[in-house]
Amino acid sequence: MSEPAPFTASQYKSICDSLPDPTFILTESGRYAAILGGKDLRYYHDGSSLLGKNISDVLNPAKAQWFVQKIREALTSQRMLVVEYELSARDVLGIPDEGPVEPIWFEGRISALNQKYRGENAVVWVASNITASKRMQQLLVEQATVDELTGLYNRRRLMQVLEQAFHNFKNLEKPATLLSFDVDNFKTINDGLGHPAGDKALVDLASAVRALAGPDDYVCRLGGDEFSILCQGRSLMDITAFSKRLLETGRKVLQPYATGSQIPALSLGIAHFSHTDTGIEDIMHRADRALYISKTQGGHRMNITPAVR
């Protein structure tokens, strides 16, 4: 059997240009020595204008430094390096308008070349578009940690952030407070106006509380008409003022859902993190206890349960 004929130079060029994913030859200093494949504008921008340029000329300094670092890691290890990163057209100068508008997530596979390019060590960097799978991953995370009705965080997410906040309190002395609240006379909304109205009341309340909360606050719906807010970095005075605004806001938002003499409002329980707490269960128990006291006192008020000393 005869040996297959070798590819010609033009055939090799055609093969390289037809590679489905963009493939870069990058030198150790970050210069684009060659750019192959990745011509489908549905998934990639045309990067041919980058040829001969340096990464530092076309990327912001932080990203350029990251790319050069990964090139050198692959050269040092002499093993394929796999990384994930995000790029948009705004990150890269000289990219034409054609191509995806939204940021693109890539999986980069980086391998050292066994020959130098103009005296420099170089790597082959294959960039695969993984945006679709990344978005699906983010959607699954959101579905697992976000309440479907209100869009607030759910109980699962609250437990996660409580654990992290407790760690920060114990090790970094970062103050934190857990607020637990529910709706007084919520049953009268469902019974008098119907469950769709009850759902609408919860959505309106969630929207108002989210607008009231600060950037370091986590607003969560635990289920039914039960909510919690984890506040971090706030002073005791600020927590008191915030809690009063919360009660006022709840009363105002829920007023349209009043039926007869039963006026819906909020009852609130407050538990500041304490060094006597052995875990987040202690904090949650104190917040629930303070909420219970507010309910037994007639509702539309707040209470603080101090830590056991």
Would you please indicate which residues are annotated as catalytic (active-site) residues?
225
Q: Which of 218, 75, 246, 236 is nearest to 159 (CA)?
A: 218
Q: Structure tokens of 63?
A: 């990203």
Q: Please give the distance of CA 148 from its chain centroid, rounded to a whole number.
A: 17
Q: Which of 173, 169, 146 is nearest to 283 (CA)?
A: 169
Please tell me the distance from the alpha carbon of residue 267 to that of residue 151, in angstroms, as a whole number.
Answer: 22
Question: 128-142: string of b/e by CB count within 10 Å (b at 16+)?
Answer: bbeeeebeeeeeeee
Which position has the token pair 């790597």? Answer: 123
Please tell me the distance from the alpha carbon of residue 260 to that of residue 14, in angstroms, as a whole number.
Answer: 79
